[in-house]
Amino acid sequence: MIRLFETNKIRDVYELEGDWDFQPINEGDSVCERYEYRMPVPACLELHPDFRTYRGKAAYRRKVDVSKDTSIKLNFKGVSHTADVYWNGMHVAHHYNAYTPFSTYIKDVEKGEHELVVIVDNTFSEKSKLHIANDYYTYGGIIRPTSIEYISDVCIDRLSCTSFQKDGVWGADIKVWVTNHHDTIQKVEIKGQLADTPISFGFIEIQANETVDVQINKMFEQLIPWELNNPSLYLLTLHVYTDHQTTPVDDLIERVGFRTVTTENGRIQLNGQDIILKGYNRHEDHPLVGASFPYQLLVQDLELLIETGANSVRTSHYPNDERFLDLCDERGIAVWEENHARGLVLDQMSDPLFQKQCMDCNEEMVQNHVNHPSILIWAILNECASNTQEGKVMYKEQLEQIKELDSSRPVTYATHHREHDICFDLADIISFNLYPLWYTDEDPGELVDQARIWAEELGGGGKPIIMSEFGGDGYYGLRHPNAVRGTEERQAIIIEENLRAYTKRSFISGMYIWQFADCKVVEDTGWLMSRAGTKNSKGIFDEFRRPKLAASVVKKYFSE
């Protein structure tokens, strides 16, 4: 399953799931002659007993039966962390970053059997600035769904739909990108419907091998907006016609919601009403499947989150599987989605490749996920160098890039630099990662009052404040009447003290507990990452989603 709704009725879409041939290969190799293994797709390769801790390159291969002469598009929702794609031996795509999708178009494919090879690489090397040894695990393999589409030579690449309200009536800015892969100019008509209302972009001419974008702006009567407790969704269907034909050559269906997100008077508003985001930081990680979640486990995570009264989730620290975002759209859960960069210091950010890889990630995140009404906030660069002038240049460039791609959502970044942060003026929301009662002995209430003063004095005055991380370790099953560090009791106390402080302060617009469930971390990377059991144990649930004592505390405060 790629999405939770049908994205095409004209275009044929087939998932390339199942067992593929698999073989680890050497660093310098780009071809593989002999395949000894089979590996499921999608899945993390660590699932296989021979590759539990594999870090390196590997080849995946399968035959693809194309049932007619056609052009095709290959879609990869997530390959960890670097992919090189070969179609009948021809290199057709290169992509870096496990957590953003990519696709490639191949023209004039003949009916019959073809060979698809994907070389994956999860090595930590100079070429990888975002996937590094870190306080979460970089798995390997084709970890998210993959598909092939039979596609017309005039086709829709993507569309974006941004809602707004004017004089009490809902409207949408709809933009569509269409490519003409023919060698001749094409006259194209694009029309469709949104919420059962016809929409038309009229006729356009597209030069040979060019992409154009067209935009309309339309008001819709009698729409029900997307709300947290009433998440109304509508299908937006577009058809493309060529040469005045009556049958469309291509289509794309998106699912959208009508809502606005604003930040005024130091608060966050959804559809004009102040909201308080209460939720978790969540890593996409599970001991049974690694980072490659089947639908059932995505649902389970979301239901647990809802059960404890949460209304929001932060996708720490990378863009999530789109099916999870679809679920958040459906269940009315607000999402803070962020790019992929955790805890990188200036030295690590200084290589120009770092900024490029971040900006590629930002672009792919926003372009692919812009239509999810559940995403209320875009964020970048968790705990990076927002305390330095050189870092600030990069924060500025990235936040401006995101605003340019989508100006309808507020932007933020989570900082631990306290009074040394110098980037508050760049963000719409000020977000603090502070760990009172865990990494420090500070009182959470006094600390957050102090954080508010830092925000005001350092360029963030009048902006909403989110406590983006707080929490402490609690080893599942470790109990002690004295509530010593690491016990479930101590963790429950830490969570209670933090939540009590934040829920009673009206200037706090959001709180995200670190973290939803325990997650695996990379082994042997220094004292901080040498976490007992090679896991970050600050989950309110353990890695198998068993609730710790703190879960009932969370429920008490989040449900109030």
Contact residues toward ligand ADA (CB under 6 A) are 135, 342-343, 382-383, 416, 433, 469, 514, 536, 538
Q: Which strands, in side-by-side order, build the sheet including 273-275?
A: 261-264, 267-270, 273-275
Residue number with CB closer to ligand ADA (439 or 544): 439
Residue number with CB closer to ligand ADA (255 or 416): 416
What is the residue type of 329? Answer: D
CA end-to-end distance (rounded Å), the chain? 36
What is the residue type of 61? Answer: R
Residue number with CB closer to ligand ADA (5 or 439): 439
Least distance from C-beta 432 to ligand ADA, angstroms? 10
Residue with tokens 């356009």: 204
Residue number with CB closer to ligand ADA (252 or 349): 349
Q: Which residue is nearest to ligand ADA (CB)?
A: 135
Least distance from C-beta 476 to ligand ADA, angstroms? 16
Residue 407 φ then ψ, to 5°: -90, 5
Cα four-point dihedral sign 453, 275, 403, 381 = positive
Hey, what are 516's tokens? 């939803």
Residue number with CB closer to ligand ADA (179 or 382): 382
Least distance from C-beta 294 to ligand ADA, angstroms? 25
Contact 481, 98 (CB under 8 A): no
What are the residues whose beta carbons fall under 8 Å from the beta carbon of 428, sequence distance 6 or more?
263, 410, 411, 412, 463, 464
Task: Give the separation between CA 266 and CA 509, rounded to whole angstroms.
Answer: 8
Least distance from C-beta 438 to ligand ADA, angstroms? 8
Least distance from C-beta 53 to ligand ADA, angstroms? 21
DSSP state letter for 140: -
Helix, strand and coil percent figures for the chain, each rounded to 5:
20, 40, 40
The residue count of the chain comes to 560
Least distance from C-beta 80 to ligand ADA, angstroms? 18
Task: Give the separation between CA 139 and CA 342, rounded to whole angstroms.
Answer: 16
Least distance from C-beta 454 to ligand ADA, angstroms? 17
Residue number with CB closer to ligand ADA (16 or 522): 522
Residue number with CB closer to ligand ADA (22 or 514): 514
